[in-house]
A and B are shown apart, each in its own frame.
Chain A
Amino acid sequence: MSVKTIKINNKNNINITVALAGNPNVGKSTVFNYLTGLNQHTGNWCGKTVSTAYGQYKHNGKIYTVVDIPGTYSLNATSGEEKTACDFIVSGCPDVTVVIADATCLERNLNLVLQILEVSDSVVLCVNLLDEAKKRKIHIDLKKLSELLGILVVGTSAAKKSGLKELMDAITQTAENPGIYKPLEIMPENNTKNFIGKCEEIYNQTVVCENPEYKAKDKKADKILTSKFTGILIMIAGLFGILWLTLVGTNIISDFLSVPLFGAIGRLYSFFDFIYAPVWLKSLIVDGVYKTLAWVVSVMLPPMAVFFPLFTLLEDLGYLPRVAFNLDNFFRKADAHGKQALTACMGFGCNACGVIGCRIIDSPRERLIAILTNNFIPCNGRFPVLISVTAIFFSHGSNTSPGSANSLISALFLTLFIIFSIAMTFVVSKILSKTILKGLPSSFQLELPPFRRPQIANIIIRSIFDRTLFVLGRAITVAAPAGLIIWIMTNANISGANLLSRFAEFLNPFARLMSFDGYILLAFILGFPANEIVIPIILMSYMSAQSLTGFENLAQLRDILINNGWTWVTAACMIIFTLFHFPCGTTCLTIKKETKSIKWTVASIIIPTVIGIILCMCVTGIANIIKLF
């Protein structure tokens, strides 16, 4: 929501705007979720709030619009995300600003509280994670804190839904009585040192910490997760585990989905016969649009439905910052930013989202590197291609049922492919830093938040609604017109051959150099709007002579591909080009929006495509040399 709309709402006097501010990792989003329930709009599923989310709730007959602004350590904005936070509070739009603070490290959090008190009078402090603090024997005198700060202070444990009603009451009270709270004034000379001194003073008066050491349990876990041997091993094992579960789960859900989806084709045919629809219309709707849609759903949905919840679980646990910590050495050597590991992780879900996530990097040079290389991480739209091609050609069998050796081999290959793509990210980042984006790495600080118990129900809801359905919806809106276009291309004849094969023939000589045929290359080009439709297009092209019955199992897919001349070299090149080619349409648009530059958008298209073509050609060349002997 833009700032403008909020102002308009204010004029009507029925809507009260509440801004949620706070340091990162204080459970701000949890408070937001419980305040607004499902009555919210979040353009945000990166695990970190990078763009402003808003939602509403009703309390005592009034409507409150809650704006969740990105986490920030201070109002001295340096990075894009923090600037958003700063602008929103300083411009004076919110009626009430709620600052959420982490009870377990209140001292650091107080810095932001004091800064916000400087610019706004209507402030409520919400001390969250009180349960966590109690466990660590940290006692906070909320009443004293309220007296010292001159504002209402509420203690909450948002994950346990406790204290939220009191928070709502405090917000109402502050909103309805503007000016009655006289927040504390700091000294005339407002530099950071004064603020931190004041924080220390307030902290010492209000908090008693029986054991000021770092939590022993977290320390132990961190030592294991970040040590030289186990740290790296656990990371790779975790990647392997997630991929294996995705593979196995995909198989189960796929079986479950494909039968009804493709079973409906017969009924659709009879329906069109029943209404005496012309044959071309029947074929256009059923063979063109519906079958492509059914393909996309049955191929796309299963890996997402497994992968997204698993990934969200890791996020909630707080494991991702540890990954960034472990991998920072490589990013530093590539003269890149350590937080690039986090944005790359987001890329596994969706590259467009990863590109937006790059706002967490403040240095413009390093942010561009992160944006340009995000596409090297295969997003969920590309997973189905990787999974099916690997299962067919690299594990010598199409049986990926749970526990079978094949599923383990497939997962192993997938892990290797992903490690390869991560290695490529380092190489390209380094090359960029040495050529067009010259510079030294900036200093960076990465918070390693305490481990939190994940909220399983929340994870499932969030990953299904916010992520899976969002991505699937986008894929479907792209797949339907794409199905239409392909149907027209296969049915429009130009001097004896259809349009699709004409194009494919044209591309064929070049495609051969990459061990492809024209159809595969054409599928990648037509798949520009969304990578998910690459495999469906290839199959539709191959099957245009016959009727495409459906995706019953991988064995069938294997037969189709092998009958059309696929070898393991084709498969290897297919995987390479899936990993390294131009970003999808949505990602390109996002890059354009984030960089505000056509030049960098074009660069983000050219760099991976050239790398992909060169690698495929090398593989083809090597395979040809091997054949000579």
Chain B
Amino acid sequence: MLLSELKIGEKAKIINISDISGSKNDKSDKSIDKQRLSDLGIIEGTRIETLYKSPFGNPVAYFIRGTVFALRNETAEKITVEKI
């Protein structure tokens, strides 16, 4: 399942992060964004918990390695997880 499909309070393990592209025209952004996520410790195998949604449902706050990070749904859709 995708990280964006995870419900509030559910925990999961990241299985795969596909190339995240911000702008479709600019290919150079792709690897940078994946790099950014891994700099924050978001890689394959990382445990992640959905904490709460923002007032309009996007972005969503996640608990990752002791820290709370907000990710937009567009990013969460690129992350495949396995519920635990």
Q: Which residues of A contact B (CB under 8 A)?
A: 73-74, 76, 78, 104-108, 111, 192-193, 196, 199, 212, 214, 219, 222-223, 226-228, 231-232, 325-326, 328-329, 332, 338, 362-363, 365, 439-450
Contact = CB atoms under 8 A, between A and B. Distances in A.
A328 B54 contact: yes
B23 A78 contact: no
Nearest to B57: A329
Contacts of B59: 325, 328-329, 332, 338, 446
Given A222-B52, A440-B24, A105 B66 contact: yes
Listed residue (B43, B71, B72) with the most chain A CB atoms within 10 angstroms of its CB: B72
A23 to B, nearest CB: 9
A599 B67 CA distance: 41
Contact of B61 (A76, A192, A226, A365): A226
Contacts of B25: 439
Contacts of B40: 73, 108, 445
Nearest to B38: A192
Interface of B: 20, 22-26, 29, 32-33, 35-41, 43-44, 49, 51-59, 61, 63-72, 74-75
Listed residue (A105, A196, A363, A446) with the most chain B CB atoms within 10 angstroms of its CB: A196
A231 B55 contact: yes
A78 B32 contact: yes
Given A105-B65, A107-B41, A192-B43, A445 B71 contact: yes
30 contacts: A73-B40, A76-B39, A78-B32, A78-B36, A105-B66, A107-B41, A108-B67, A192-B35, A192-B38, A192-B43, A212-B66, A222-B52, A226-B54, A226-B55, A226-B61, A325-B70, A332-B72, A338-B72, A439-B23, A440-B22, A440-B24, A441-B72, A442-B22, A443-B36, A443-B72, A444-B75, A447-B67, A447-B69, A448-B61, A450-B68
Given A73-B40, A223-B52, A442-B22, A105 B58 contact: no
Contact of A445 (B24, B32, B37): B37
Contact of A192 (B39, B51, B57): B39
A520 B29 CA distance: 47
Given A108-B67, A226-B52, 11 more contacts: A73-B36, A214-B51, A228-B55, A329-B54, A329-B58, A332-B72, A439-B26, A442-B29, A443-B74, A448-B61, A450-B68
Nearest to A324: B70
Contacts of A106: 66
The 3 closest A-B pairs by CB, nearest first: A442-B22, A105-B66, A74-B39
A103 B52 CA distance: 24
A123 B76 CA distance: 36
Nearest to A330: B56
Nearest to A219: B51
Nearest to B26: A439
A233 to B, nearest CB: 10
A442 B32 CA distance: 11
A449 B68 CA distance: 7
Contacts of B75: 443-445
B41 A111 contact: yes
A445 B43 contact: no
Contacts of B36: 73, 78, 443, 445
B35 A76 contact: yes
Given A76-B39, A363-B22, A443-B75, A326 B55 contact: yes
A445 B69 contact: yes
A219 B70 CA distance: 14
A333 B11 CA distance: 29
